[in-house]
Every structure is written in structure tokens, then in C-alpha cells.
């Protein structure tokens, strides 16, 4: 509610300011405003044509909702219109319990794309991966469908089967049948890895801070000689800003966590940690990959910038923009989800598109190392067609051979990134950790034109 009041106050202030300058700006603004009114009239004309001349009777409400979604989603991949049912779904998701398959999705050029499957859900158990495309649900194409509508197709009564058609890079299309469940997200899992604690946070819903604190306290109580902690944020698609600040606060002894900056350069809001480090200075390594997005990147960036933790894994997704959800008529007409600012780490770096680069880059598998070496196969915020730029013009790192990947002798059924994170804790820092030989992944082959012989 506080957020909505701030938004309303800002809108009122802008309105008052424009009234004060109306006489000076009348000629300058009249033409653009007249053009806006003309285009709105055009919209009404097109709607009327569809009502009267389309081959079958149309639903005005659906047409207008689709127009609203198209208008907002053209701004960037994360802005959009939420119809009342979609707004309710979003609220259920942030509360951490709902019926569905357990997939975080986005839209790219009208195609539904998986950002991350959620731990312990049907999607996770079926082996769905970040970057997979969902082309159909129960045989019905979702190409060109708004994300909110695609979500509606996948949610439903628990116990019912849902068949997803999946397209994956370097694989033939395939179908996978899942059974809907009541998704009770396991936000936090924890255990000991020898002398070191391990805590995994799968999403930033309303329980994230509370459950992370409980897990760390439990590890400390049962293992008073614990030497350090691995904090796993891989495949964490993000969530609530206040929970990102709360989780970072667990590790920091005061100081800035993140700032957000809007259109006006003076519009800066800073979020700070409170005094008190729950781990009392024990060393921390944060694990990230290209499925770590938004709130996960805020935490990783804050701990990295503040020298509280070192980051191991792969460059994160790069979703560094702020979405404000503005209910319409108290939610009766749904809500607008609008990108209103960018996130910045404590050192002033934008997360948007570029992501958080690890202190030690480690591919999870040898196959993944090959994918990173081939730009065409990378999935990140920067790969989305109309994603917001990074403001300062920085670009995400191009295709390259990662610093490390599992050697041939490593059993890839085990977690190589976790093993290297523990190595960093044992050696005291990334700098002091002996490096492995750089992998030599194969580059993607060039498909020859018809009638030609490939060069050898």
C-alpha cells in the first residue's frame, strides 16, 4: 500500500507542475498531444471495424485486454497488463503456494521461454532447463500468446496431466507430460558439506528471509565449528525486492545493499542493511548461474561489491530492472506491471543485461562449457529482443571459453560448481585457490550451403 501511495503522490506532483507551465509550453505540447488523441481515436475506429466486420462475433473485453498487453509488453519483456485472474495468480505466486507445474517463464518475440524451473516441482523433476521454449500446452500452440494466458493454460486442478511441447537448442523437439501439483515451494534447503554449511535459496517469495535465517541458525547450532558457508542462488529467478534486501542483510553488517534509479537522475532510492552479521564474519561463497535473476543478482552483487563473499559459477541472467505492480480500481480491473527503474549494486554497477560476473567462472558440465563458447546458444536478459539497455552502454560478455569446467576424470553426476565453491572456502579466497587447466570446448560447426563441400 505504501508503494501505491508514493506512486500516487508522484503523479499528483507531476500534474501540478505541468499546470504551472501550461501557458509557456502550450504551443510545444499541443501538437504531440493532438497526435495522441488522434491515435486513440484510431484505436476506437479499428475496434469498431473488428466488431462490425470480423468473420465471427468478437469479445470486446478480450480485444482491449490484448491491446493493453501488447502496448505494455512492447516497452520491454517485463512490463505488461495483468487481467484480474492474472493479478490473482501473481499474488498467489509471491505467497509461495499455488496449483501448477513450477516454472518461471518469460516471453521472447511471442515465444514462451523458461527462465528457471523451481526446485522440487514437476518441471524440475522432468528435467526442464532455463532457455527451453514451450511451444504448445496440451497440443494447443502458445506461440504469440501473452505470458499471462500461457500461465493460465498450465495452471489448473492438481492431479491433472499437462503435456508441454518443448524446443531445446541442439535437440529435436519433444513432448513431456507433467502432473499438476499444489506448488508449495521449498524456499530453503540446507545441509553440511564436511566442515562447511550449504544453504540453497530457490526463490525470493514472502518467506525467503525468514527461512534463510532459520536455516543458518540451525546449521550453526548443530555445527558450532562450521568453517564457512556456500550460499546457492543458482536457478533462482528472483522475486520480491524487500526479501532481497532482507537476505543480503543476513550477511552484511550495515551499509548499502542496492539502489534503484528511475527516469529522473535525481530519483534514487537506496536500501541499506542493518548492523549485525548473522555469520559473524565466517567466509561465504555465493553460487550463481545464468538462471540467477533479479533479486538473486541483487544479493550476489551486494555481497561481492561489499567484499563479504566471493562469487563462483556463471554470469547471472542480467535482469536488473524494477517492476512496479499498480492495481487498477483496487485490482477489480487487474493491474499494470510497469518497469519503473534500474537496479545498481553498491559500487554503482548496473545489473541490467550484463549480469553479475563471478570471481571464479566455472561451468557445471563439459557440455555447458561448449554452449558458453558459442554465443548463439546463450540465454540471458541480453538475448531478449526488446530488453532495456544497461544505461551506461555496457555489453554482456560475448561467447568465450569459460575459465573452468569439469575435467574428464570428474564424475558429472556430482556438483562440480559446488565442489569448486568449497575449494575456495578451504583455500581462503579465489586468488589462493589452485586453478584447473582451461577447458578446450569444441566450437559449433558451420553448416555448408547446398552443393558445397565443408572445409576440413
Q: Which sequence positions are flagged as catalytic?
A: 294, 305, 319
User: In this structure, how many other beta carbons lie within 10 angstroms of the beta carbon of residue 91?
Assistant: 15
The whole-angstrom separation of Cα 170 and Cα 232 is: 28
Q: In DSSP terms, which residues pair with 271 in a beta bridge? A: 258
Please tell me the number of Cα atoms within 13 Å of 244 on its side-chain side: 29
**Three cell numbers at 452?**
558445397
User: Please, which contacts does 431-440 make with residues 24 or more away whose CB atoms are closer than 8 Å?
Assistant: 433/360, 435/403, 435/404, 436/404, 436/407, 437/407, 438/401, 438/403, 438/404, 439/363, 439/366, 439/369, 439/401, 439/402, 439/404, 439/405, 440/401
Give the list of residues 6+ apart from residue 273 with CB closer than 8 angstroms, or none: 245, 248, 249, 252, 253, 254, 255, 256, 257
CA distance from start to end of the chain:
65
Amino acid at each position: 500500500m505504501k508503494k501505491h501511495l508514493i506512486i500516487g503522490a508522484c503523479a499528483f506532483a507531476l500534474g501540478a507542475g505541468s499546470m504551472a507551465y501550461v501557458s509557456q509550453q502550450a504551443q510545444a505540447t499541443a501538437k504531440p498531444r493532438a497526435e495522441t488523441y488522434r491515435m486513440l481515436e484510431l484505436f476506437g475506429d479499428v475496434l469498431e471495424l473488428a466488431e462490425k466486420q470480423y468473420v465471427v462475433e468478437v469479445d470486446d473485453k478480450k480485444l482491449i485486454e490484448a491491446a493493453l498487453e501488447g502496448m505494455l509488453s512492447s516497452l520491454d519483456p517485463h512490463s505488461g497488463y495483468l487481467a484480474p485472474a492474472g493479478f490473482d495468480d501473481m499474488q498467489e505466486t509471491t505467497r509461495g503456494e499455488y496449483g501448477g507445474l513450477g516454472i518461471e517463464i518469460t516471453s521472447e518475440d511471442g515465444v514462451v521461454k523458461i527462465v528457471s524451473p523451481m526446485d522440487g516441482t514437476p518441471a524440475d523433476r522432468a528435467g526442464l532447463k532455463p532457455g527451453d521454449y514451450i511451444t504448445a500446452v496440451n497440443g494447443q500452440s502458445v506461440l504469440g500468446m501473452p505470458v499471462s494466458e500461457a500461465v493460465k493454460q498450465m495452471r489448473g486442478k492438481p492431479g491433472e496431466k499437462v503435456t508441454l511441447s518443448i524446443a531445446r537448442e541442439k535437440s529435436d523437439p519433444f513432448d513431456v507430460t507433467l502432473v499438476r501439483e499444489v506448488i508449495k515451494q521449498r524456499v530453503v534447503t540446507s545441509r553440511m558439506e564436511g566442515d562447511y554449511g550449504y544453504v540453497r535459496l530457490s526463490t525470493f517469495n514472502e518467506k525467503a528471509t525468514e527461512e534463510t535465517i532459520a536455516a543458518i541458525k540451525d546449521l550453526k547450532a548443530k555445527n558450532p565449528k562450521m568453517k564457512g558457508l556456500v550460499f546457492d542462488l543458482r536457478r533462482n529467478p528472483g522475486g520480491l525486492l524487500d526479501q532481497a534486501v532482507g537476505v543480503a542483510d543476513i550477511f552484511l553488517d550495515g551499509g548499502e545493499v542496492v539502489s534503484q534509479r528511475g527516469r529522473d537522475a535525481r530519483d534514487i532510492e537506496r536500501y541499506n542493511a542493518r548492523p549485525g552479521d548473522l555469520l559473524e564474519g565466517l567466509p561465504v561463497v555465493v553460487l550463481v548461474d545464468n538462471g540467477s535473476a533479479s533479486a538473486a543478482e541483487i544479493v550476489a552483487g551486494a555481497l561481492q561489491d561489499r567484499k563479504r563473499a566471493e562469487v563462483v559459477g556463471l554470469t547471472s541472467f542480467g535482469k536488473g530492472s524494477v517492476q512496479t505492480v499498480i492495481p487498477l480500481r483496487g485490482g477489480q480491473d487487474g493491474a499494470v506491471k510497469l518497469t519503473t527503474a534500474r537496479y545498481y549494486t553498491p559500487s554503482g554497477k548496473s545489473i541490467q543485461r550484463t549480469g553479475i560476473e563471478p570471481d571464479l567462472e566455472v561451468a557445471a558440465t563439459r557440455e555447458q562449457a561448449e554452449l558458453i563458447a558459442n554465443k548463439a546458444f546463450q540465454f540471458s536478459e541480453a538475448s531478449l529482443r526488446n530488453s532495456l539497455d544497461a544505461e551506461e552502454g555496457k555489453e554482456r560478455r560475448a561467447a568465450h571459453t569459460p575459465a573452468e569446467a569439469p575435467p574428464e576424470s570428474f564424475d558429472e553426476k556430482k556438483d562440480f560448481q559446488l565442489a569448486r565453491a568449497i575449494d575456495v572456502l578451504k583455500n581462503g579466497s579465489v586468488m589462493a585457490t589452485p586453478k584447473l587447466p582451461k577447458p578446450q570446448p569444441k566450437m559449433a560447426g558451420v553448416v555448408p550451403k547446398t552443393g558445397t563441400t565443408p572445409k576440413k
